């Protein structure tokens, strides 16, 4: 049995940033092996949260019950709350727990700022919306490891900026090794570049 992928959910979550990743992980289409991943939502508590787009989500699990041993990956979306105080700092601390245990973490948009404040980007290649955004975070000392790319995978860490949900998904798929390389390339060309020639490759899977 595959371990589930855990998706963090919290108020002001940026709805558009993780949909490509979670939908394609769950449905299993184009995967090397049959079957997809269970997507388990993790909130600060079991109370409903409201996304930036106004959707109400009832978390499956509270953060304090989440352990790396029971997870294939932790995905951290952006949210206005990442820039509004320390409410989401427990999610960054959980990311440290995952990385220390060798379980991958994927962070996009404001979540990269949370990881920067936690010191998790100082010794790993990473990206975000802009290096200046991260340099404004207290404690960040990782500018030399910043990469001006659509998404970056370094070991167990995936990062991306807010405009790159498809590249973010691509690197998540790469880290979890769910698609063969030629299929991953075709998937990104189709969904990220609207390249119709990639459709034929995917339909042959």
Q: What residues are labeled active site?
A: 109
**Residue 50 to residue 204: CA distance in whole angstroms:** 39
Neighbours of 3 (CB within 10 A): 15
CA distances from 93 to 34, 125, 133, 193 (A): 33, 19, 20, 35
């Amino acid at each position: 049995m595959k371990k589930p992928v855990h998706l963090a959910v919290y108020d002001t979550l940026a709805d558009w940033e993780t949909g490509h990743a979670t939908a394609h992980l769950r449905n299993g289409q184009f995967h090397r092996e049959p079957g997809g991943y269970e997507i388990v939502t993790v909130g600060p508590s079991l109370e409903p949260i409201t996304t930036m787009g106004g959707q109400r989500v009832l978390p499956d699990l509270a953060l304090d019950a989440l352990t790396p041993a029971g997870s294939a990956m932790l995905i951290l979306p952006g949210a206005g709350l990442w820039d509004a105080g320390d409410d989401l700092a427990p999610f960054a601390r959980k990311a440290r727990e995952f990385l220390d245990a060798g379980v991958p973490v994927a962070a996009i948009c404001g979540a990269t700022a949370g990881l920067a404040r936690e010191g998790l980007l100082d010794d790993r290649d990473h990206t975000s919306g802009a290096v200046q955004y991260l340099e404004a975070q207290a404690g960040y000392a990782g500018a030399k490891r910043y990469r001006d790319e659509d998404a970056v995978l370094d070991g167990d860490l995936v990062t991306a900026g807010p405009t790159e949900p498809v590249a973010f998904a691509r690197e998540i798929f790469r880290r979890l090794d769910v698609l063969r390389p030629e299929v991953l390339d075709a998937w990104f060309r189709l969904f990220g570049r609207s390249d119709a020639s990639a459709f034929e490759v995917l339909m042959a899977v």
